[in-house]
């Protein structure tokens, strides 16, 4: 198991290959559909003007995400009334929903890693090669176990999106993931899809 600290250098990213098990340590930010859409429309494409304190949040995110990791996660969080936040459950969200946004978000914020489940498509894979970055697969169905890797909740942005869709800033220690898309064009998800298609076509041909 390889230990990697966030922020992550380009050299470290390029040293990772599909199949590598990794423990991540440091700060990361959660972000799902609402967050990615907001980042894309407001700051990357600039189709919508910033609202409220959006510019201040953007400035903070530019620092937090530089060389860092975004986690596709809709956490269950305790302490909402007192703001003594603690992650009770922190399982990964299916990542393919962010495919329209991910490569652009990676490039704009210099993201080195994306965490989720189920993998992503060709556009994100190209983004991993160009940024460079990797896709880390987290364990589905292990939300409580993963939450134990979250040592502190440092803050939250865009709470108006709701708790699952807000952007939580968390500190993690030995957060368990596996590289399934790398900066060299390798994608375990694409390989499995291709082999499954071949098996299916073979079965259909025999019937």
Task: Render the burial of 36-52: b for 16+ CB within 10 Å, e for the rest.
Answer: bbbbbebbeeeeeeeee
Q: What pLDDT, on a 0 to 100 scale, did the predictor assign at position 198? A: 45
User: Helix (H) and strand (E) counts for the chain?
Assistant: 7, 9
**Catalytic residue positions?**
36
Per-residue pLDDT tens for 124-180?
999 999 999 999 999 888 899 999 999 999 999 999 999 999 999 999 999 999 999
* Full set of structural domains in the chain with CATH: 2-206 (3.20.130.10)
pLDDT at position 204 over 60? no
Task: Give Cα separations from 155 to 58, 81, 130, 193, 200 (angstroms).
Answer: 14, 14, 30, 38, 47
Count of residues for the chain?
207
Q: What pLDDT, on a 0 to 100 scale, did the predictor assign at position 141? A: 81
34-40 mean pLDDT: 98
Q: What pLDDT, on a 0 to 100 scale, did the predictor assign at position 139? A: 87
pLDDT at position 190 over 90? no
Per-residue pLDDT tens for 38-51?
999 999 999 999 99
Average pLDDT value for the chain: 92
């Amino acid at each position: 198991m390889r230990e990697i600290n966030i922020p992550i250098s380009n050299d470290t990213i390029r040293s990772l290959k599909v199949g590598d098990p990794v423990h991540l340590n440091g700060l990361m930010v959660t972000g799902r559909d609402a967050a990615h859409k907001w980042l894309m429309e407001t700051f990357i494409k600039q189709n919508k003007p910033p609202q409220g304190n959006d510019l201040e949040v953007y400035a903070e995110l530019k620092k937090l995400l530089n060389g860092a990791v975004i986690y596709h996660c809709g956490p269950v969080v305790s302490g909402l009334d007192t703001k003594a936040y603690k992650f009770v459950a922190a399982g990964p969200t299916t990542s393919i929903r962010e495919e329209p946004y991910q490569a652009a978000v990676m490039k704009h914020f210099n993201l080195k890693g994306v965490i989720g489940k189920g993998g992503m498509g060709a556009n994100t894979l190209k983004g991993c090669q160009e940024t460079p970055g990797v896709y880390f697969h987290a364990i589905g169905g292990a939300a409580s176990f993963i939450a134990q890797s979250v040592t502190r909740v440092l803050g939250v942005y865009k709470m108006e999106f709701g708790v699952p869709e807000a952007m939580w800033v968390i500190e993690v220690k030995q957060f368990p993931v596996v590289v399934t898309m790398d900066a060299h064009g390798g994608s375990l998800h694409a390989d499995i899809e291709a082999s499954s298609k071949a098996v299916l076509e073979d079965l259909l041909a025999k019937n």
